[in-house]
Amino acid sequence: MRESLVAAAFQLFVERGYEQTTVDDIVALAGVGRRSFFRYFPSKEDVVFPDHEGCLARMTAFLDESGPDHEPVERVCDAARLVLRMYAENPAFSVQRYRLTRKVPGLRTYELSVVWRYERALAEYLRGRFSNRPDGTLRADVAAAAVVAAHNNGLRSWLRSDGLGDASAEVDHALAHVQRVLGPEPASGGPARRSGADGGGARDGDEDDDDVVVVVSRRGAPLWRVVQEIETTLGRDPA
């Protein structure tokens, strides 16, 4: 019933336009009554985004299940991938909705409020994880916004390809950029470290702080020489 309402709605949106389609038109085509429509969807806008509530619930559950060993930025990237999966499961529908949303300002606004709820969910999780750090809420908000922006950049690339490209590859590429810039953060307990605040190496953590390698190189030296030197010094192969 729910699916047939969504299908009927999109058929009409495409044929007549979103504004020109009424809930009465939709229920007539689907062969059900108005009350059935409103049992599933509070408004006509909601039928355009039938799956976001479920996805938000999955994201919240996923974040709630996180443990202290999860690197926080990586974890929110994985949470964002749940949204991508929802889109990628039904490429034709997602592309159709993307085109519709771009044409109808009211739907664009609706979508912004959905995106904002995803971003708040990610930020809330990060605020918890960063609560002991200086500027924890600031870092959390910035990281959540960056992850959402990167996810949406990758998602839109895929939608603009009419869903023909590799959605996961697009989004993985975009999220990798954010992870390079933002994570892992120093207090995450993992091996990787990040210089904090003012460029000094922030290092609140559990590892032996003496374990620092200093590489001094001429700027003119070829990069492979520098890398080789680091490998030799660290006594191991590239990760």
Cβ(73)–Cβ(177) under 8 Å?
Answer: no
**Closest to its own copies by CB, 89 or 231:** 231
Q: Smallest gap, in angstroms, from Cβ of residue 58 to its own copies?
A: 22
Calpha distance 104→188 (Å, rounded):
43
Nearer to its own copies, 2 or 136 (CB): 136
Question: Nearest-5° angle of CA 5, CA 7, CA 9?
Answer: 65
- C-alpha span between 26 and 7 (Å, rounded): 9
Instruction: Name which of 64 and 210 has its Cβ closer to its own copies.
Output: 210
Residue recorded with tokens 């470290």:
193
Contacting residues toward its own copies, per CB under 8 A = 108-110, 112-113, 116, 135, 137-139, 141-142, 144-146, 148-150, 152-154, 173-174, 177-178, 180-182, 191-203, 207-228, 230-231, 234, 236-239
Minimal distance, residue 222 CB to its own copies, in Å: 4
CB atoms closer than 10 angstroms to residue 183: 21
Alpha-carbon gap, residue 202 to 180, rounded angstroms: 17
Q: Which CB atom, from 65 or from 214, has the smaller least distance to its own copies?
A: 214
Please check whether residue 130 is in contact with residue 142, taking contact to mean a CB–CB distance below 8 angstroms. no
CB of 4 to its own copies, least distance (A): 29
Least separation, in Å, of the C-beta of 23 and its own copies? 20
Smallest distance from its own copies to CB 199, Å:
4
From 72, 74, 155, select the one nearest 114 (Cα to Cα).
155
Closest CB to its own copies among residues 20, 217: 217
Token pair listed for 58: 């999955």
